């Protein structure tokens, strides 16, 4: 299930929870929240960058264990095999 970020539409008519960004775990089939779950103030869904992978070394380890080969470019037309 994806995590969505929401924020209050109006700063004046909101609580501390929705005044700043808050996250909400919801199903893809669920409609977006329209009100803060704590105070009922109108909220809007924010667009945020997804988190893909934890680190480059973790991705390299998974690719290596899956049988992929990695090459490092040394110069024009020259490559060195990393794994």
Q: Which residue range is the domain that position 22 belongs to?
A: 3-48+56-81
Write down the pTM of the prediction: 0.56
Q: pLDDT-based confidence at 56, cuts 50/70/90?
A: low
Q: pLDDT-based confidence at 53, cuts 50/70/90?
A: low
Closest CA to 7 of 46, 33, 39, 50: 46
pLDDT one-digit tens code per residue, 35-47: 999 999 999 999 8
**Sequence-separated (6 or more) residues with CB below 8 Å from residue 59:** 53
**Mean pLDDT, rounded, for 56-75:** 84
pLDDT at 26: 86
Counted domains in the chain: 1
H-only helix segments in the chain: 16-19, 56-65
């Amino acid at each position: 299930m994806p995590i969505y970020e929401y924020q209050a539409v109006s700063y004046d008519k909101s609580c501390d929870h929705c005044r700043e960004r808050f996250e909400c775990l919801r199903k893809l089939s669920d409609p977006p929240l329209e009100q803060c779950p704590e105070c009922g103030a109108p909220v809007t869904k924010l667009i945020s960058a997804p988190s893909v992978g934890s680190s480059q070394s973790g991705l390299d380890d998974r690719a290596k264990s899956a049988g992929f080969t990695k090459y490092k470019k040394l110069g024009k037309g020259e490559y060195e095999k990393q794994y």
